[in-house]
Each structure stands twice: as structure tokens, then as C-alpha cells.
Structure 1
Amino acid sequence: MPVSSKQFQPPAQSQDIVVAFDFDGTISTSDSLRDFVRHAVGPGRFTLGLISASPWLLGMLLGLCDRASAKARFLAVTLAGTTQPALEEMARHYAETRLPLLVRPDMAARIREHRQRGHRLVLVSASPALYLKYWASSAGFDTVLATELEFRDGRFTGRLASPNCWGPQKVQRLQQWFGDNPPHSLYAYGDSRGDREMLALADHAWLRGSIVMPQIDAWPAH
């Protein structure tokens, strides 16, 4: 049965402790979007997609094109026109068979520890919710706040249905999910510039590569 983002709902009661995790580079060892597309369409079409989208991807690196446009172009030339059921099945299979191989063991252990303490887990990612929702559900996350893809007449249009969940958008999506029930304490884990605003929002923030990941009980306030 397909997992819908609508199945992840905010709580009716006040949230005591919330833990927000970035995915790519933080939980995973590499970029999951490129890996998913390669897995879904094969190396030949994947390479052609990279070549076709290269002006947008290069423009993004040079600051001449926004990340959302570059991402949408790459997805359009590789996956546009695919039926929603077919794409959901690709996503489910990828999340069950390939994606777990990219998960860092130390982060898998940290996710389990937070879950065992009764903390609410939120995956906040610029990568598509399309496949992340399947993995997050199996890993015990309470919700996924990620980039959504647009479908029309049962097919992927090649466009994004939501703003790219990167940088300031991560904070906006978190605050929308909190609603009138902000957490008493927020932990956040990230690894890049795209996580800066989310880490600044948190009471306890960890950026991969900055310091050794603290023990949960010994974490100093941000």
C-alpha cells in the first residue's frame, strides 16, 4: 500500500521534544536523489539526463540558477511522463532495497536512541518525499517534510509541487508542522549550508564535520 505524506500528521497535543534530521550527507553517505534516479532509469538514461540538464546544474553551481529549477530540469529529462503508480513502485522498491545501504550506522543508532526516548522524529530534506516517506516510515519517523513532485492526469509532469525544501524552507516547513504546538526542545542534525537555518532554530544543533556528535544527555544548549 502506498505511503502518503498525508499520513504523517502533526500531534494534537504539545510536542515535548522534536528531533529534525536532514537526510543527504547527514543520515546518508551520498546524494540520494541522483542514486534514486540512476536506480529507477538505469545508467544510460541517467547519464543522458545529466548531460541534458548540465546547463541548469552548472548554473546552480555558479549561482546563476536556483536549486529548484536545476532539480526540476534534471527530474524532467529523466522521469517526466512516468505514471504515478510506476514511480511510487520504483520509490518503494528503492527505499526497501537500496536506500538502507546509504544510511550511516552511527546515524541509524542515533535515530533509534531518540525514538526509544519517546522523542518525535522529523525528516526534513530537499530530496523528494516520493521515496523518503517509505524509508522514514520504516525507520520510525513521525513525519517527512521534503520536496513534493507534481502529478497530473496520473503522470509526473517534471515539475515540483512544492518549494524546494532547502535552507529557509526547512524552517518554514517545520514551523507549519508545529502549528500552535511548538516543541519544548528541538534537536537538529545537518551537514551543509542548506541546513543552516534549521540548525539556528534548534536548541541543540549538530553539523557534521564541526564537532564529535555529543551524547544526547550531555548536549549543551545551542
Structure 2
Amino acid sequence: MDSKQPVAIFDFDGTLTNQDSFLPFLRWTHSQKSVWTGLYRCSSTVVSYLLGRCSNRDITEKLLTQFYQGWSSETLQTLAIGFAHQDLPKLINPEAIAQLKWHQEQGHQVILVSAALEIYLQPWAEMMHIDKTLANRLEIHQGTITGKLQEENCYGFEKEKQLRQLLGDLSHYYLYAYGDSKADRHVLAIADEPYYRKFKGNQRIMIR
């Protein structure tokens, strides 16, 4: 490890947070009535996703189209920054963030790799002095949100793919990886020290 650069890779939803962050973001940008009405309109796609009949990207873009298609990107960015600074910190797992800060104190590079939306994750990451964020970017056309993702959904194998594109030859790095679901298994599989699901104080629980 002495000759390798240490890098700590964290999933966000369910790993650094105690819950998914998208629904709280919907509540931040919409009234409660609008949230429930929109979710109802997406219910058939949600059921299809739960039954394995559509992809994670399909359900993500269905929700983005329902709630944000046609929005000004500038307006949504302003709301996202407010969410990142005011509401998102309430979702953070203190034990997980202690682990992240431990890596920073050791001088390790810290990277977030998440299917959460970059529009609110990036401002939070900057506030936490995190080195790099790989997350879902919204497609924007002439200053307007289209409801589509700009790139492939940062989920499952795509997490590993984007990480390799960022770092290059992984043999130069000593990788710590933290995740909580099957979407993280590809990143956990390439880590020197993969940690799954739980933190206990500052102690990490390794899966192998």
C-alpha cells in the first residue's frame, strides 16, 4: 500500500445517509400535494421497475420528466444548493461521515460515486471538501431541464466504469469502498478493502 495512492470511494444514498435523498429533494422543490400527485402518475412505471420490467434508468427518467421537465436549470440549481446546505445534512449518518472524515485526515483522496443527482450532491460534496463526485447529471437543452439523464445512469456497473475512466489504471491505487446495496457490488469487488452496509463508531466492517 505504501507505493499506492489511497482512495476512499463512498456510495451516498443509504451509505452516507440514513435514507434515499431523492424524495426529500422532491419535497424541497414541490408542495406535498404535487409530490403525491406526481408519484401517483408514475405508479405504473414504479410497479414495472419493482417487477423487473424496466431499468433503473427508465424509472429515474420517468420521475425526472414528471417533476422537472421544462424547469429552468438555473432555478433548479438555486433550489438544489439550498437543499444541499439546509436539508441534506439532516439525512447524513454521523458514523458514516466520521469514517469519511477519517480518510480525509489521513490524506486519502475521497470520491463519491452515486446514482443521486449531481445537481444537489455536488454542492454538498464541495461543502464537505470531497475531492470528486460522480453522480447523475441532468440533461439540459437551452437552459431547460429535459427530464433525461445526460449520460448513463451511475448505477451498478456504470459506477465502476466511471471510476475507471476517472482514475485510469487502478493498480496505482489502494481502494477503500463503502456501499449498501447491489448497485455497489461492482465497486466493492474491485476494492482492496470493501465495506458493506454498516458503520460501528469509527470501525469499518469489511466484507472479506
Q: If the length of structure 2 is used for normalisation, what is the TM-score?
A: 0.93
Paired residues for 1:108-127 under 5 Å: 108-127=97-116
Structure 1 220/196 Cα, relative in aligned 2: closer, same or farther at 3 Å? closer
Distance 1:181 1:166, change over 3 A: closer
How far off is 1:54 after superposition? 1.0
Residue identity (%):
35
Q: In the alignment, is the contact (CA less than 8 A) between 1:189 and 1:207 conserved in 2?
A: yes
Distance (Å, rounded) in 2 between the aligned partners of 1:45 and 1:152: 24
**Which of 82, 89, 98 is the equivalent residue of 2:78?**
89
Change (3 A) 1:18 1:144: same
Three-state SS of the structure 2 residue aligned to 1:127 is strand
Contact preservation (8 Å) 2:164, 2:170: no
Q: Is the 8 A contact 1:189 1:205 kept in 2?
A: yes
Query: In the alignment, does 2:71 pair up with 1:106?
Result: no
Residue matched to 2:187: 198
Give how far 1:140 is off. Answer: 1.6
1:41–1:15 CA distance, 2 compared to 1 (3 A): farther
| 1:165 paired residue among 154, 173, 182 | 154
* CA shift in 2, pair 1:220/1:83, >3 Å: closer
Is residue 10–residue 177 contact of structure 2 (8 Å, CA) maintained in 1? yes
Question: What amino acid sits opposite 1:40 in the alignment?
Answer: T
Please, which runs of 5 or more residues in structure 1 have no aligned partner?
Answer: 1-13
Aligned partners of 2:68 and 2:145 also within 8 Å: yes
**1:169-190 C-alpha deviation (Å, 9 max, x unpaired):** 1100100000257542000000
Match of 1:207 among 196, 202, 206: 196
How many angstroms does 1:65 deviate by? Answer: 0.6
Amino acid at match of 1:172: K
Distance 1:69 1:21, change over 3 A: same
State the partner residue of 1:35: 24
**Which amino acid counterpart does residue 185 of structure 2 have in structure 1?**
R
Equivalent residues, number: 206
- Separation in structure 2 between the aligned mates of residue 146 and residue 50 of structure 1, nearest angstrom: 23
Is the aligned partner of 1:142 residue 2:120? no
| Separation of aligned partners in 2, 1:89 and 1:174 | 28
How far 1:214 sits from its partner (Å)?
7.1
1:45 Cα deviation (Å)? Answer: 1.1
Q: CA RMSD in A?
A: 2.0
Once residues 221 and 34 of structure 1 are traced to their aligned partners in structure 2, the CA distance between those partners, rounded to angstroms, is: 29
Match among 59, 67, 70 for residue 70 of structure 1: 59
Deviation at 1:122, TM superposition (A): 0.3
TM-score, scaled to structure 1: 0.87
User: Residue 19 of structure 1: SS of its match in structure 2?
Assistant: strand
Report the equivalent of 2:43: 54
Alpha-carbon distance change, 98 to 18 in structure 1, aligned in 2, over 3 angstroms: same
Deviations 1:139-187 (A, max 9, x none): 1211100111100010100111111111101100100000257542000
- For 2:201 and 2:152, the matched residues in 1 are separated by 30
CA distance in 2, matches of 1:221, 1:183: 22
